[in-house]
Every structure is written in C-alpha cells, then in structure tokens.
Amino acid sequence: MLLPPLNVFLVIAALLFSIGVYGVLSRRNAIAVLMGVELILNAANINLVSFARFTDPSRLAGHSFAVFVITIAAAEAAVGLAIIIALYRNFKHINVDDVNFMRW
Amino acid sequence: MIPWLHVAVAVLAGITLGAAVLTVTLRNLYHCALSLALCLIGVAGLYVVLSAEFIAAAQVLIYVGAVTVLIIFAVMMTERITGVRGEAASQQRGMAFLAAAALAACLISIVQATAWPTVLAQTSSDPSSTTLTLGRELLTTYLIPFEVASVVLLAALVGAVVLAKEDAPREGS
C-alpha cells in the first residue's frame, strides 16, 4: 500500500492553515476567531505527524510534538473561552472589533 | 489496482477542507462549531492514514470530544442570554480572503519547490509500533516537557475557573 508523497499532506495542511487564517482575519465574533485558531493548530499538527511518518519512524519526535500541541491547544481553548465568557459578562457582546478598551 | 490509500487521503482531505471552509463561512455559530467537529474528525482520519493511531485517538477524544463541546457551551452561554445572534462576518472579508489566498499560494509554492525526503514513504509500519514508540519517547526523552505540560494544564484549569466565575459577592452579603 503506497502512501501519497509528503507534498500532498503538506499541501493539505497549508490549505487548512490558510482557511484558518481567513477565519481569524474575517470574523468579528471572538468564538469564531478561536475556531480559526483551532484550524491553524490542526494544520501544524498534520505537518508534524506527516514529517514524523516520512522521515524518522524510530524516534517519532513529530508525534511527541503533536501530543504537546494538542495539550496546549486544549489549555488555550479553555482559557480563551473563559476570557470570552468574562468579556461577555462585562460587555454583553463578544465582538472583537469593539473590545479595544486596553488599546494604548 | 486501485491505490486505496490515495483514495482515502483524497476523501479525508475533501471532508477536512470542506468542513473547514464551512467553519469559517457559516453565519450560525452552532453550525460553525459542528462543522469544526467534522473537520477535526477528518484530520483524525488523516492521522490514521499516516499511521499515527494514538494521535488520532487523542484528536477524537480531546478535540472532537472536549474542545468542540466547550465551544458549543460558550456559544450557548453567550448567545442565549440576550437572544441576539452574533453577527459573524466582518467588513474586511475581501482583504482577509486576499491575505489568506496569498498565504496559501506562497506556502504551496514553497512546498512544491522543496525536495522533501521520500526515503521511508514505501515502508508499511506495524500498527502497534508507533504508539509503543511514542509512549517510550514521552516517558524518556520528553519526560520533563511531559511533566511541564501537566503543570500547564493545571494552571490553565485554575485560570479558566478564576476567569469565568462570577465576581465574589461583597462582604456581608
């Protein structure tokens, strides 16, 4: 069973990354921005796992990094959503364009 | 003979990218969260194709199981109270699309121009071996990052509770 070459996986990850960047840039709702960030993190993980598959199957450094990325992403989602809920409690909206009271 | 892995990768990539596009374009945030879950399941399928079974299982458990549910809870908590649907898209959609398309073109051209190592692409690996190797690596080479990650998770847990909880009532009440 032949795997597709590494390029294919990297292109998929690049497209997923760009879609995530589009989501982060175009959305105004903070939760939707956070979903874009999740897409970006997943694109990075696809890259890590495919490099691990195609280079060094005895060490699997890419898999370990993917585990850590998933861990940190879970922490990021929890803290990010907590911040969004605190924001909602104070402002009654979560529109990132209007939350600039800390801008210097 | 049909190259089944190629077909699988094409189908999974279609599911993943299609669901990702829906995630960033749909206006209803519930639907966005559900298509995010579908996209994450597609990514888990790609991990299986890449013989990373443990990562695929962790992806389904953590991302699809926990993060998506968390996002749906946040959507419910921030939309229900006022009943106002958050307007999802912004005015800068055209600029964002241009920036993302330029980024994609740049990344893809770099990927295609680089000579990647293809040495081990042909070897088919033992299904149980990657999980075994990963476990051994995590508890030997990456032991300190592994422990630090647990501290980070604890700090994030406490921080999320502190940030999201109601302000304490004033003294005497």
How many angstroms separate the CA atoms of B129 and B94, rounded? Answer: 47
Determine the structural domain holding residue A13 and report its residue range: 6-91
Please report whether residue A53 resides in a domain.
yes
Please report whether residue B92 resides in a domain.
no
pLDDT of residue B83: 47
Helix axes A61-91, B143-164, angle to 10 degrees: 10
H helix runs in B84-142, sequence order: 93-113, 129-139
pLDDT digits (tens, 9 = 90+) for B66-87: 999 999 988 888 875 444 455 5
Task: Name the more confident of A88 and B150.
Answer: B150
Of B47, B68, B31, B16, nearest in space to B131 by CA: B47
Of B154, B165, B62, B80, nearest in space to A82 by CA: B165
Average pLDDT of the residues in B121-129: 54
pTM comes to 0.88
> Which residues in chain B have their CB less than 8 angstroms from residue A3's CB?
5, 9, 49-50, 121
Average pLDDT of the residues in A44-51: 92
Instruction: Give me the residue label for tokens 């680089």.
Output: B114
| CB-CB contact of B98 with A31 (8 Å) | no
Is B55 within 8 Å of A45 when comparing Cβ atoms? Answer: yes
Residues B13, B76 within the same domain = yes
Please report whether residue B172 resides in a domain.
no
Of A17-26, A42-51, B109-118, B139-148, the least confident? B109-118
Mutate: best of B29, B163, B165, B167, partner A, most A CBs <10 A: B163
Please report whether residue B101 resides in a domain.
no
Determine the structural domain holding residue B154 and report its residue range: 127-164
DSSP A52-95: HHHS-TTT-HHHHHHHHHHHHHHHHHHHHHHHHHHHHHHHS--B
Q: Please report the ipTM that was assigned to this predicted complex.
A: 0.90
- In which band, very low, low, confident or very high, does the pLDDT at B172 lie, cut at 50, 70 and 90? low
CATH number of the domain enclosing B58? 1.20.120.1200
- Total domains in chain B come to 2
